[in-house]
Amino acid sequence: MNITLNGKASEITTELNVTELLNDLSLTPAKVAVERNLQIVPRSVYSKTIIQDGDRIEIVRFIGGG
Amino acid sequence: MVTVLKSSDLLAAVENPENIQVQDKPLTIAGRVFGSRLIIGTGKYKDYQQNADALAASGAEIVTVAMRRVNLSSPDEPMLVDFIDPKKIVFLPNTAGCFTGEDAVRTLRLAREAGGWSLVKLEVLSDPKHLYPDMTETMRAAEMLIKDGFDVMVYCSDDPVFARKLEDLGCVAIMPLGAPIGSGLGIQNKVNIRLIVEQTSVPVIVDAGVGTASEAAQAMELGCDAIITNTAIAEAADPIRMALAMKHAVIAGREAYLAGRMARKLYADPSSPLGGLI
């Protein structure tokens, strides 16, 4: 299954929900926010949100800024 | 009866300025109350530790932050939230790098999900050369964000007409630039900043342009409620020391504003009385 992850073409070999995706990427859910096809994925539904073929996923976090 | 004060009594009075009672209302933005009138940025520091140290020295209670993609190739890289605790310091997410209203709204919705709060700094920029705000897009984005439940602190040009329009839309703080972002040129248009201060009933915060402590004090002397500064601290030779300088400058400027400066005169006016000369 092919998805776009932070702008880069990526392949997923097993079915994943958002919690599992973040785990695979070694990211702490509390420190990031996730957008799927331009829609925010609330933290409360991470485990119910299954990544689909063609999804465009953005994972962002706070960084230094002015 | 003559009472001669001991030198230690005089020292005590000088060293404990807190004993002097002065009244001021705290900075209140959208119902949130802050003790410090200095807001600092978190960009351009050597590392997050230096940023955290500068924050401690500045006494600021709000920091501006940006939202960016996680670097997936190095998930272990240091995160801002590991150095500055969002539970103790208010994170004010910005929309830096956004050039349309839609970009700004998208960024701040993500920030709200990451941080769980609605207080945000809207900045919709135009030309990268001067980073002046695109005021038409800023107005549009502000309207969209306010409808979506955000408390919008808005970076804007120092134009009193737009400042009024943004306040009428429901922005919770009006934040005119003093000079272009990162330029350190100081307050370029004091007349306009003063006009905005006089007409605005929500906090007015000079955002961008402050280069050193005296310029922060100048903004406060004009009657601004607070200032935001990033580069002036981060790019100082000693950021921690400049953070401390900014803390004092903002307090000094505020007190001078409340005190009300003397009238300017064209000629000298001796401080010592002329009567009783020997």
Quick one: closest CA in B to A27, which residue? B75
- What percentage of chain B has pLDDT greater than the value 90? 82
Average pLDDT over residues B241-258: 97
Name which of B69, B75, B81 is nearest A60 (Cβ-Cβ): B69
Judged by CB atoms closer than 8 Å, whether chains meet at B115 and A27 is answered as: no
The C-alpha angle with vertex B161 and arms to B159 and B166, in degrees rounded to 5, equals 95
- Residue A16: helix, strand or coil by DSSP? coil
29-58 of A, contacting B, C-beta below 8 A: 31-35, 38, 40-43, 58
A26 neighbourhood in chain B, CB within 8 Å: 75-76
CA B147 – CA B137 distance, rounded (Å): 15
Q: H or E segment at A10? A: strand A8-11
A58 neighbourhood in chain B, CB within 8 Å: 69, 110
Quick one: closest CA in B to A66, which residue? B41
Please state, rounded to an integer, the average pLDDT across all residues of chain B: 92
Average pLDDT over residues B216-237: 97
Domains in chain A (CATH in brackets) are: 2-61 (3.10.20.30)
Would an 8 Å CB–CB cutoff place A16 in contact with chain B?
Answer: no
- In angstroms, what separates the C-alpha of B253 from chain A's closest C-alpha? 22
Average pLDDT over residues B222-247: 97
Dihedral, CA of residue B127, residue B130, residue B131 and residue B134, to nearest 10:
-60
Sorted by sequence, the CB contacts under 8 Å of residue A63 that are 6+ apart come out as: B42, B65, B66, B67, B68, B80
pLDDT band at B12 (very low <50, low <70, confident <90, very high): very low
Q: How far is CA B169 from the centre of its chain?
A: 22
Judged by CB atoms closer than 8 Å, whether chains meet at A66 and B44 is answered as: yes
Asked which of B115-129, B134-148, B227-241 is least confident by mean pLDDT, the reply is: B115-129
Name which of B65, B113, B114 is nearest A65 (Cβ-Cβ): B65
CA B45 – CA B59 distance, rounded (Å): 17
